[in-house]
Structure 1
Amino acid sequence: MYTLLIVDDEPIIADGLYEEFKDGGEREMDVHRVYSGKGALELLGRMKVDILISDIRMPGLDGIGLLHRVTRSWPSCRVIFLTGYKEFDYAHRAMEYGAVRYILKTEGYGRVREAVEQTIAEIERSLRAEALVAEAEERLRALQETTLQELLAAALRGEMEAGAALAEELSLLGLGMPLRPAEPLWLAVGRFDAAFPPSPSGYMAGKAAAETLRLLAERYFAPLVTGVMVASSGAGPMAWLMQANPADGESEPDERREAQTGLFIRETLETIQRAAKETLGRTVSFVVGTEAVVWERIGETNRSLALLLEHRWGEGAEMLRTDKQEDRSHEIVANVKAYVEAHLHEDISLVRLADLVHFNPTYLSRFFKQQTGLNLSEFVQNVRLERARLQLADPEIRINDIAASLGYGSASNFARSFKKLTGQAPQEYRDALQVKK
């Protein structure tokens, strides 16, 4: 639907044209009329007008003044001036604004309707041209993105020399390269834990899932990190190349900022895992580098991370590990258990244990449960309980000392926890042991 505004200080003309167009004929139009330039401005301040039919000479704000104001507020509005013979030269000067027609008032309503139809045809041709330009621009953006993906994928596979020169060239090609050539990158590789069916529909489902994963990554990385996801051509892993966003104002020392970026990436990958499971109903595993690498090393680093991912170290779905973790799962479990047994007197946190074995905390908890059948908190609790029983068997060890050696903070906390697990207070348990002897 097109909006038509009729402006003439002679009501007989404004009303006549309004009646002519309000029914619209074959074309539905939203028709309005006012009797002054000021009234037209008030209406134009509230709504968009596609076509303006205006008398060129009016008291107060005339047609030329109205045209000047309209083109500032609604540049796409087309104007048709109504003029008399004596105003012909005056109307002709209005043509400098473009998108303007003029009609002699003596030509009648039929000529005005014809001019309106011609104007609408011009608008529609313009819209089609704009749509074609927009489509061409969208296709160009898609081509640029595809080309960038292919070039980065070739660099990651080692088929193209990867270095700062490549990054600089990609930036100069106008491919929408968001990564900075002079700065190192963080790499991560990931893949869906379950393969998609080897069929056209499975292929399309895999592509759609990968695109969803890319959008999730963009969303969650955006506050601090800029990244490019490079999808494989088949069912292979996806790679992420990432850099910290430039810091505003004074930045932290480089080492601290790099450590913070690495932590943010690892924690965000865990968030992406949860989002993918919720959104797609599929689990995703990741392996991420523990430090940023220069452009020359992205191929080597990508192959190393992909190999770790392919070997499925640790087994189980939703793996999230770094490239510096030990190679065997039983060694990781043994290290965690040994640390717990040696540090029972401390506050044993999941974050500290994760740092010990270079795991994401959430994944360590999941991994430990997969390997042992116990939650980490259950394991720590069981070790403390067994150690408490051993020490309570020795009447020479005070209960306060037992509580301190097991990290309970106070004897009352120890007593509460022990009774909850065994049904007996520590002293009751000790007394029962003495009776048995």
Structure 2
Amino acid sequence: MNRLLIVDDERFTVDGLYEMIEDTPGLELDIYRAYSPEEALEWLTRTKIDIVLSDVRMPGMTGLELQQRIVAQWPRCKVIFLTGIHNLETAQLAIRTGSIDYILKTEGDEAIIRSIRKAIDSLAAESQSQQFMLQAKDQLSRALPLLHRDWLMAVLESNAAQPAVTEEKLQELHIPLRGDAPVIALIGRIDRWGEGSYHDRALMLYAVQNIAAEYYAPLAVFTASTDMHHFVCLLQPSAETGEQSETWRDTVSFVQGTMESIQQTCDRLLHLPVSLICGAQTEDWEQLPRVYEQMKKRLVVGLGTRDRMLLILDQREEGIAPEAALPPLRTITLQLERLLEDGTEEAFAEAIKSYTALPTQYAEYALVYYAIANLLLSQLTQGGEGRMETAIMDGLMNLSAHQSREAALRYLLQTTSTIYARRKSIQHERTHQLIARLHQYIRGNLAGDLSLTSLSEIVYLNPAYLSVLYKQQTGTNLSEYIAELRLEKAKELLTATPLKIHEIADKVGFETSGYFIRFFKKRIQLTPQEYRARE
């Protein structure tokens, strides 16, 4: 819903326009009134305004001066000028400075409504503009290094729930690798940084990656950094060379043999000591998290002086069985945290079952169990119900208290159900309390400002989101709820008090008795006087 602000120093003009626009069918607008440019500026600082209908001549600040302030605050706001005096120079200046229309008050209501519809159409067209897509594509190209890094981390975290390696994803991120073929993995490490700022180091790290990419240019190569010390290269034979086993063997040999040249070039041109480690063979995508962790461990342990190393990862030497696919604990924790944040209880429970089924040795199983238990415990302590958390904690943090793996798994799943049930309960209770507080405020302030912006400030929500949330929770529009309350209060005052019509109009939030009478008759097909006489 678009927000429209009416600005004029003549109160009856503002109120008349408000009632006319409010009564016009087909206009979905949240309407605000300002009786001076200063009051208009207050509204503009409180909430986003989409359309401004403003007089040109006002004391203290002209409409043109107000327009400059509006555009500075809300560049996409559409300004419509309404004036009683035709002045060609002023009209031309208004159009040149970005107003969408310039209307004489003598042109009547139809011209005003037509101009408002034009502004609404213009806003809708802008939201679908191709320019947004062009800007997005430009920003995407600049953000590709960050997107590449995020994608690589997702691959190395082995996110089974949402596979990172799909042909669609590779094409989307302009990654020249194939998802249906294995890869050759290589990790590089900057052994020591010299003096320099964070920006200088980031630039140098990018230069090292470029050097590696240049040396491996005959291949399909992807490179991205994982932190300020490490980068990863993933390589495949180019599409032109085919898929023969000899091709892959030659490619592995080329990757390993070229590491020396990359290291020497980094030393000579950048004065950086770089260590590199490469796999002894190709790896399937699913094995990359395991291989990545093993490569990093080899770099940490090192050989000799632990710098300028050129290593080959021999999985037989490392004692890694290909079927031992237990992800690193960091990967398990990150994946479960992500599911807790974005996923369903069913998906989270399936992930727990999957991870606890992987370890073959008790020590590994205990590590996985306590990683999951710690995550669940951190969620429980957010609730603040001490007695319940203490009881659950005893079961969570004592693996030996469970007679079997199956019993331990059941306890983890029961705790998961407790967390999700509590989260749902808290969410429902907070929403219920918010709606109740909103209703209480509205009932106590029927004569006051009940605009969407004012109400959103009471409950600390964005106005647009408040409107959507209220409709989701109650099934009715917030404006309709307010209108019904005002109608019922007006009926009560008409039958139980001797108040005059304009006094009742004021008490239920109507600026003028004329607008109140039209509103009342539209609702029950009787004027307030007729209703009072009948009752």
TM-score by length of 1: 0.43
| Structure (1/2) with the larger helix percentage | 2
TM-score by length of 2: 0.36
Structure showing greater radius of gyration is: 1
